Amino acid sequence: MLEILFFCITAAAIAGFLNHKVLKMPPAIGITIISSLFVLLIEATNGFQSTDTGNKILSFIKEINFYDFLLNGALGFLLFASAIKIDVQLLKNYWRQISSLATIGVLFTSFIIAGLLYLVSGALGIQLPFIWCLLFGAFISPTDPIAALAILKSANAPKSLEMKLAGEAMFNDGMAIVIFMSVFGIAAKGVEFNVVHFGVDLVKEIFGAVAFGGALGALYCYIMKHIKDLTTTLIFTLSLCLGSYMGALLLHFSAPISVVVSGLVVGTTIKKIFSEHEREHVEMFWEFLDELLNISLFIIIGLEVVLITFTWDIVIFGVIAFAVVCLSRLLGIILTVIPLRKYLLRGTVPLLSWGGIRGGISLALALAVGNTTYGNTLLPITFIVVILSGIVQGLTLKTVINYYYPNEEDKHLVWYEKLGESLRINLLVCQMTKLTDKFVNFVLRLKPVSQEPHAVLVDSQTIEELNDVSVTNEENNF
């Protein structure tokens, strides 16, 4: 056991060191790549079978229940850590946009992915039933903003874009899991689908989670107001995180939404009653947990490659599925913003679309169906989509940001950015961004009020009524 524990901790440390010194990529991307290559290299050289320690490590990897680790463990801490640090006032400014993207947007994206993937699978002769394509759409729709937010902070992107991307990611996990569980019941267990029953369950899970998380958070806030000891306060925040997540599971509410709401409530109270020094300690504690769990998550994602069987047909299908997911994300956001498009900032839709990088929750849900009839197809294509999403979207997102928000001061380029320039990949990404921008404006029938790269987009009737106040009021903009 000590050998395995040593291996996991050392692998995380070495992967982090190599990424920092060599790859210089966002940790979410670099550590996953390094751990995957490490496992593939050892397996290719029969390193696992050559020693008793290797066999133990291989057995350990195969016994990891990634679904249980993430959904019944790490996810609650990760979401709570994000929620407790977030600026609630800024979040309130964009609640319409964030709630729309995290609910309606996930539904639209899931069904668009299902439709396109069903057509593609038929064309490739794989023949996935539509309900299984919808299941794939459900667990590939939620986004993981870790890599995207790291890039947004280093680029010249506005704070509002960070908030929309982070806010959507905090809440869309819960929505995706609700859809996944409903569709999985139909696909694997033959449960008859009932629209009314599904709608009632959806409303109950979401609103029940909000009410439960908010009430529990308020109770803990009342207690914490009478506590002066910082250590005790930190223990109470841990208790709240676990209680809001576990309690929601027991009550059949959405645990991810419940833990986010409780984190937002207690985070607001901490900002009001604690000094800046005390707030820093609380945030540093949760930031450490966040980083530790994220690194563990990236390592495990990389290690999971040893459990997956790939064929050339599956690899081709996975690459096409990645393109389908990207296109569906864009179309899903376009459909979502139609009622909220009165003042749409140019670049918001393409940036939200390309910044929607897939992560651990998609792979965890795919592993949950790995032993089912079509699990041996869905699992490898999910892994391919997650890896390609991190590499392709994650490493080119900065170029897309710079298209709309040029940063003349940032002249430092890491090796993969220099390689992208020399191979003209950055130019290709800019051309694709330009075409996407035109496509969004055409579909939504909007045009910019000025020539600025991130100008406000409005329809022809509204442009005549605009004044400086309405244009510059960010809260009105999507």
- Residue-wise pLDDT for 283-321, tens only, equals 899 988 888 788 777 787 777 777 788 889 999 999 999
DSSP of 106-173: HHHHHHHHHHHHHHHHHHTT----HHHHHHHHHHHSS---HHHHHHHHHTT--HHHHHHHHHHHHHHH
Beta sheet of 344-345, edge-to-edge order: 344-345, 456-458, 447-448
Residue type, 223: I
State the Cα–Cα distance between residues 258 and 261, nearest whole angstrom: 5
Tokens of 248: 């929601």
Q: With both helix axes pointing from N to C terminus, report the angle between 255-273 and 75-85 in degrees, rounded to the nearest 10.
A: 30
* Closest to 297 in 3D by CA, of 472, 78, 42, 4: 78
Instruction: Say what the pLDDT of residue 51 is.
Output: 62
The token duo for 178 is 């609700």
**C-alpha to C-alpha distances, 314 to 307, 381, 382, nearest whole angstrom:** 15, 7, 10
Q: DSSP alpha helices (H): ranges in 338-359?
A: 348-354
Strands (DSSP E) along 23-96, which ranges?
none
Per DSSP, 455 falls in state P
In angstroms and rounded to an integer, the radius of gyration of the C-alpha atoms of the chain is 22
Question: In this predicted structure, what is the pLDDT of residue 467?
Answer: 45
Q: Which residues contact 84 (CB under 8 A, 6 or more apart)?
A: 237, 263, 264, 266, 267, 270, 282, 283, 286
Judge contact between 139 and 366, C-beta under 8 A: yes
In the chain, the amino acid numbered 43 is E
Burial class (CB in 10 A: 0-12, 13-18, 19+), 319: middle
pLDDT at 314: 92
Backbone angles phi, psi at 428, to 5 degrees: -65, -40
Q: How far is CA 192 from CA 2, 197, 199, 317, 351, in A?
A: 48, 10, 14, 29, 38
For the chain (478 residues), the mean pLDDT of every run of 10, in chain order, is 62 85 85 81 63 67 75 86 85 86 92 95 90 92 78 75 86 86 79 73 88 95 87 93 94 92 92 85 88 79 78 93 96 90 78 90 84 86 92 90 80 82 89 92 77 62 48 50
The whole-number pLDDT of residue 70 equals: 80
DSSP string, 238-259: HHHHHHHHHHHHHTTS-HHHHH
358 vs 145: CA distance, rounded Å: 8
Integer angstrom CA distances of residue 256 from 155, 209, 235, 243, 361: 29, 8, 20, 12, 11
Beta bridge partners of 142: none
In the structure encoding, which two tokens stand for residue 12, read together?
């995380």
Considering only CA atoms, which of 172, 181, 153 is closest in space to residue 359? 172
The predicted-structure confidence for 447-470, as pLDDT tens digits, reads as follows: 776 666 656 666 655 555 544 434
pLDDT given at position 5: 55
- Residue 107: count of CB within 10 angstroms of its CB: 19
Q: What's the pLDDT at 210?
A: 93
State the pLDDT at residue 265.
Answer: 94
At 349-394, the pLDDT tens digits run: 999 999 999 988 888 888 888 778 888 899 999 999 999 998 999 8
